[in-house]
Amino acid sequence: MSWEIDYLALAPEIIIVVTMLGVLALDLVLPRPLKYWTATVGVLGLTFAAIPLIIMAVDDVGTRSMFEGSYVVDEFALVLKGLFLAAGYVTLLMSVSYIESDRYYQGEYYFLLLTSILGSVVMASARDLIILFIGLEVTTGPLFMLAGWRKGDLRSNEASLKFFILGVLSTAILLWGMSMLYGITGSVDLVTISDSVALIAGGSVPGFEPLLGLAILFIIIGFAFKVSAVPFHFWAPDTYEGAPTPVTAYLSVSSKAAGFVGLFVIVYVALPAAVDIWGPALWLLAALSMTVGNLAALRQENIVRLLAYSSIAQAGFMLVPFAAAAVSGGDQLAVGLEATVVYLVIYSVMNLGAFAVIIQGARRTGTGDIEGWAGLGKLDPRLGVLVAVFFFSLAGIPPLAGWFAKFIMFQSAITSGGPGGVWLAVIAAVNAVIAFYYYARVVKTVWFDAPAEGASEAEDAPVGSLGLAIALTAVATIVIGFYPPIATFFGEATRTLITAAGG
């Protein structure tokens, strides 16, 4: 039993907490025109928080386990913490000018955003049900408020309310599932749960299977809400459209990634023995999310709604390796995890970039309707090229990073070897073609259509932090596209989750 605290392992969380408090305190003393300094502090804080992560990544200590194994910093956790910090960092950069132009509550905005980042960073390390749940709620809770930040706008209110009600519902379902799991196994520690589940699934303790099945189903449904997988996606389009765009970007990347992390941790660490129950469920979620998300996206007129449905479909693609591995037998699980993490990393980069470009584009054209973006490529070629880069990357066209995400998804689905995996790959292949159509439609409007009469041609390059966010994501999208090992490196590192679980 070790109650020793490894302060290096906790340093990122501690630094984020200090930053949060610093932002709050600074907000009190700064005069209104200088409020944007709170953002600077937030950005600096996240930068500092990354330093201990890097130190831990390069040293050879290996897995750092605390609180009787409830809080673990292994390579899986490091990679995902890094992803959450980077995504949070880019979101902060995107927010600065957007929130400043809205003129209210800047300090609180950054405080809440940092809180959410803290929650997701905690989740990556959580190896017991309670910490996992707290991490998830700390991630989601602030977002209920952030979604309604544009309080003068009815849509924003609707976004917040819908998100809140469905979020609470999903939380309740998740908690119910978790409590049943605790009731069956008598433990909140995932590794202990895993042993008990293995006994039940192995048939040594008869009579518990139905309850176990129900518990797992509820947990899956709870997370399905968080990753907005069909049929639990109804909140996403409205919330995405109404929320401030940087918050939408954060929702579609970090919040979704947090859901995935929770799912990974629970099913890989606690439930590997019950793969027969959750495998088919995930298979179904993947197939439905891809198909429904893509078909619905075809008909969208608003660019943010389009990306909302696209992110639902992308969640489906992300589930593919995972589900294919699960339905094809347990020994493929590591490959599935790796592919899903690689997909998640690439998706985060390009989706954040897409949203950053949308913020700039909406500012440039004054509208979020796709039609209104006609001829943008002629008026502002640089922005037009960026739109093409991110949207074609999302569509998976080489040589942009998205191709590798799609590729590794297909690869792990095919190499899982079972018919379930192959069929899922075929469904994904058809969906990849459908998806291309609506991504290409945006590019078509931007490049092929004539600009509206009287549109100004003066270039208005994205400046400041938004420009930095766009530049970072664009460079990453192109570099990973040419040299994917950058992304697979993260995927390989996450294998520790499986080996730690004894898989």
Partner 1 sequence: MELFESGWGLTLIVFLPLVGALVNMAIPKTNETAVKQWSLFVAVVTFALSLLLVVNFDYGAGDRFQFEMNETWISAIGANFHLGVDGISLPLLVLSTFVMVLAIIYSWDHWEEPHNPRGFLSLMLILATGMNGTFLALDLVLFFIFFEVVLLPMYFMIGIWGDKSKRRIPGFSKEVETRLYASIKFFLFTLFGSAFMLLGFLALYFKSGDFGPRTFDIPELIELGTSGAFSGTFAFLVFGAMFLGFAVKVPMWPFHTWLPDAHTAAPTVGSVLLAAILLKLGSYAFIRISIPILPQEAENWAPAIAVLSVIGIIYGSLACLAQTDMKRLIAFSSVGHMGFVMLGISTLTDVGINAAIIGMVAHGLITGLLFFLAGSMSHRYHTREMSRLGGNQKLMPVMGAILAFTAFASLGLPGLAGFWGEFMSLLGAYNPLESLRAEYLGLFRTAMVLGAIGTVLTAGYMLWMLQKVNLGEPGEEWVGHEFHDADRYELTAWVPLMVLIVVIGFYPNVVFGATTDAVVSLVNTAFGEGAATTAAVTDVLGS
Joined tokens for residue 337: 């995890």
Task: Indicate whether 234 belongs to the interface with partner 1 (CB under 8 A).
Answer: no
Nearer to partner 1 among residue 187 and residue 488 (C-beta)? 488
For partner 1, the closer of residues 363 and 444 by Cβ is 444
Q: Cα angle at 71 between 66 and 74, to 5 degrees?
A: 90
Q: Least distance in Å: CB of 411 to partner 1?
A: 5
Q: Based on CB atoms, which residue is closest to partner 1, 238 or 338? A: 338
Region near partner 1 per CB under 8 A, out of 101-109, 214-222, 291-299, 403-411:
403-411
Binding of partner 1 by 134 (CB under 8 A): no
Binding mask 446-465 for partner 1 (x = CB under 8 A): -xx-----------------
Q: Is the Cβ of residue 322 or residue 410 nearer to partner 1 in the bound state?
A: 410
CB 349 within 8 A of CB 401: yes
By beta-carbon proximity to partner 1, the closer residue of 199 and 430 is 430
Q: Which amino acid is at 462?
A: P
Binding of partner 1 by 484 (CB under 8 A): yes
Task: Provide, rounded to whole angstroms, the least separation between the CB of residue 399 and partner 1.
Answer: 6
In the chain, how many H helices and how many E strands? 21, 2
The answer to the question of residue 341 lying near partner 1 (CB under 8 A) is no
Q: How far is Cα 187 from Cα 452, in angstroms, rounded to an integer?
A: 63
Binding flag, residue 415, partner 1 (CB under 8 A): yes
Which of 107/396 has CB closer to partner 1? 396
Please provide residue 14's backbone torsions phi and psi, each rounded to the nearest 5 degrees: -65, -45
Exactly one of 134, 211, 214, 440 binds partner 1 (CB under 8 A); which one? 440
CB of 159 to partner 1, least distance (A): 32
- Interface with partner 1, residue 485, by CB under 8 A: yes
Please report where in the chains the tokens 């969208």 appear, as a residue: 300
What residue has token string 């989601």? 140
- Give dist(CA 310, CA 290) in Å, integer: 9
Which CA distances in Å does 484 have to 10, 265, 480, 489?
31, 25, 5, 9
Binding-site member from 22, 213, 417, 467 for partner 1 (CB under 8 A): 417
Task: Name 168's bridge partners.
Answer: none
3-class DSSP assignment, residue 161: helix
Give the position of tokens 């739109």.
387
Among 37, 176, 407, 423, binds partner 1 (CB under 8 A): 407
Please select the residue that binds partner 1; options are 11, 169, 205, 414, rule is CB under 8 A: 414
What are the CA-CA distances from residue 95 to residues 5, 106, 140, 352 (Å)?
Answer: 35, 10, 18, 12
Dihedral of CA atoms 373, 378, 384, 385 in degrees, nearest 10, equals 160
Q: Three-class SS of residue 483?
A: coil
378 binds partner 1 (CB under 8 A): yes
Span near partner 1 by CB under 8 A; candidates 117-125, 134-142, 248-256, 477-485: 477-485
From CA 432, how far away is CA 18, in angstroms rounded?
A: 44
Q: By C-beta, is 250 or 439 nearer to partner 1?
A: 439
For residue 31, the 8-state DSSP code is: -
- Three-class SS state of 189: strand
488 binds partner 1 (CB under 8 A): yes
Q: Does 437 bind partner 1 (CB under 8 A)?
A: yes
Q: Which residues are near partner 1 by CB under 8 A?
A: 338, 378, 392, 397-399, 403-404, 407-408, 410-411, 414-415, 417, 422, 425-426, 429-430, 432-433, 436-437, 440, 444, 447-448, 483-485, 488, 491-492
